[in-house]
Amino acid sequence: MNGTININTPEYWDRVYRHEWDSGQILSPKYRRNYGHIHEAIIGLIGDGSRVLDIACGTGLLCRKLKIRLPAAQVTGVDFSQYAIAQNQQRDLSLGIEYRQVDIRRSLAEIDGLFDVVLMCEVLEHLDQPELVVAAALSRLGTGGRFILTCPHDNEIPDPEHVRAWGHDELFHFLAPYSDTISFMHFPLDYYRPWILAYLTNRRAEGV
């Protein structure tokens, strides 16, 4: 989508999430952002007690699943949608999830502390400058921590929100500078087109 305007702005996503809340979609078991066994695979890669940062957490669905399944985990969700963060804070008050409004395109490096797990799920394909955002995300990951990324495979889901397509090889070369090993899972979903999950262990030494 080179040469087109990226519609992924805080104002755009405020409208999207407001509509999904007001229409009741978020509470539906058929909610379109409930990625079922992809979420199960992600949770399976995280140990209970981990400090987890979910970047672009949206409506907080994965954060809630993580906290319920891994009650000792410390879960922080960040998103640039003020509306989504406010709704999540109200809904999940009793779960102890921390939600913060953060412009992930510019301000990830300003988040205090390091995390054992950093998640970027269904984010990469929306970004004009994915290299900068992923570098900032990895800066929040402690040595030996796990970075987990998911996105549609290639251009299998044409969508005006998507500015770039990602395949297995492109993701491998994109993430290779950060780890000696990149692991992949592929999901030929019944309710969506093919999806890809990549994860790595951070090799960066503390203070480097």
Please tell me the chain's helix, strand, coil percentages from 3-state DSSP, rounded to the nearest 5.
35, 25, 40
Asked if residue 164 is part of any domain, the answer here is yes
pLDDT tens by residue, the chain, 208 residues? 445 789 999 999 999 999 999 999 998 988 989 989 899 999 999 999 999 999 999 999 999 999 999 999 999 999 999 999 999 999 999 999 999 999 999 999 889 999 999 999 999 999 999 999 999 999 999 999 999 999 988 865 567 898 888 999 999 999 999 999 999 999 886 656 688 999 999 875 444 4
Asked if residue 150 is part of any domain, the answer here is yes
Cβ atoms of 17 and 33 closer than 8 Å: no
Give strand ranges (E) for the chain. Answer: 51-55, 74-79, 98-101, 115-121, 141-152, 182-187, 195-201
User: Hey, is 125 helix, strand or coil?
Assistant: helix
Asked if residue 208 is part of any domain, the answer here is no
Buried-exposed string 170-179: b where 16+ CB fall within 10 A, e elsewhere: ebeebbeebb
Helices 82-91 and 10-22, packing angle to 10 deg: 40
Asked if residue 16 is part of any domain, the answer here is no
Looking at residue 159, its pLDDT comes to 79
Q: What is the CATH number of the domain that holds 105?
A: 3.40.50.150
**Whole-number Cα distances in Å, 102 to 11, 55, 58, 81, 84:** 14, 9, 11, 8, 12
Asked if residue 207 is part of any domain, the answer here is no
Asked if residue 24 is part of any domain, the answer here is no
Asked if residue 106 is part of any domain, the answer here is yes
Looking at residue 1, its pLDDT comes to 44
Domain of 183? 31-201
Helices then strands, each counted (H, E), the chain: 6, 7
Looking at residue 165, its pLDDT comes to 87
Question: Rounded distance, CA 22 to CA 19, Å?
Answer: 5
Q: How many domains does the chain have?
A: 1
Question: Rounded distance, CA 133 to CA 151, Å?
Answer: 15
Looking at residue 190, its pLDDT comes to 61
Asked if residue 166 is part of any domain, the answer here is yes
